Amino acid sequence: MSYCFSPNCPQPETAEDSERCQSCGSATRLQNRYIAIRPIGQGGFGRTFLALDFSQSSKAPCVIKQFFPQVQGSRALEEAARLFQQEALQLQKLGSHSQIPELLDHFEQDGHQYLVQEFIDGHNLAEELKESGSFSEAQTLQLLIDLLPVLQFIHQNQVVHRDIKPANIIRRQSDQKLVLVDLGAAKQMTGTAIAKTGTT
């Protein structure tokens, strides 16, 4: 099965081999290569999908973010579009770090902007906390040891994440490293502003 990208589709699940959604008739592939398997999140600015890249023989999994703002007014829409573009630029700049998802693609199709980024196979810390309860002192110390170098890298690039929370930290299954995701609220800072107390 695949999932239709159209925000207004009444029945978005459709056959994987179908070029058009069986419900609304929209194209099921983005850039003639990406197919959504299922939605994995939705917020005020868009939706996120687990997807497959059919341009590769392995049909590599990836994550697609669709810009779909739930805001009213042209000024709010402009700000939402700016933040989405900013996330693409941040990922392009910061995705070279092994604990930040790599930006694979960025494009517009059918009036919507899309980001395609590396899929991180693992569980986020919110899921871990729900399953196991609070972390011990030793676990908390290890979390800081793993995560602080990533934050140092981000700050050295004059960026503040602004949305660090358990749901945005994924423990990668392959090596148990923590990966910081969702740079949608990140802010580029000037050298003087980043050191200023009280900067939000």
CATH of the domain at 111: 3.30.200.20
With respect to residue 186, please indicate whether it lies within any of the assigned structural domains.
Answer: yes
Instruction: Tell me, yes or no, if 163 is annotated catalytic.
Output: yes
How many structural domains does the chain have?
2
**Residue type for position 185:** A
Which residues are registered as beta bridge partners of 159?
Answer: 188
pLDDT digits (tens), the chain, 200 positions: 899 998 889 999 988 788 899 899 998 899 999 999 999 888 766 789 999 999 888 889 999 989 876 666 778 777 767 777 776 777 787 878 999 988 899 888 887 889 899 999 999 999 999 999 999 999 999 999 999 999 999 888 878 777 789 998 999 999 999 999 876 544 454 444 445 555 54
Q: Are residues 100 and 185 in the same domain?
A: no
Q: Are residues 97 and 130 in the same domain?
A: no
Task: Extract the tokens encoding 113.
Answer: 């902007």
| Spatial distance between the Cα atoms of 109 and 112, rounded to a whole number of angstroms | 5
Alpha-carbon torsion (27, 32, 37, 38), positive or negative: negative
Catalytic residue among 110, 163, 175, 182: 163
Task: Extract the tokens encoding 5.
Answer: 């990208």
Domain holding 159, by residue range, is 122-194
**Residue type for position 200:** T
Task: Extract the tokens encoding 146.
Answer: 């793993």
pTM of the model: 0.80
Of 31, 86, 27, the C-alpha closest to 62 is 31
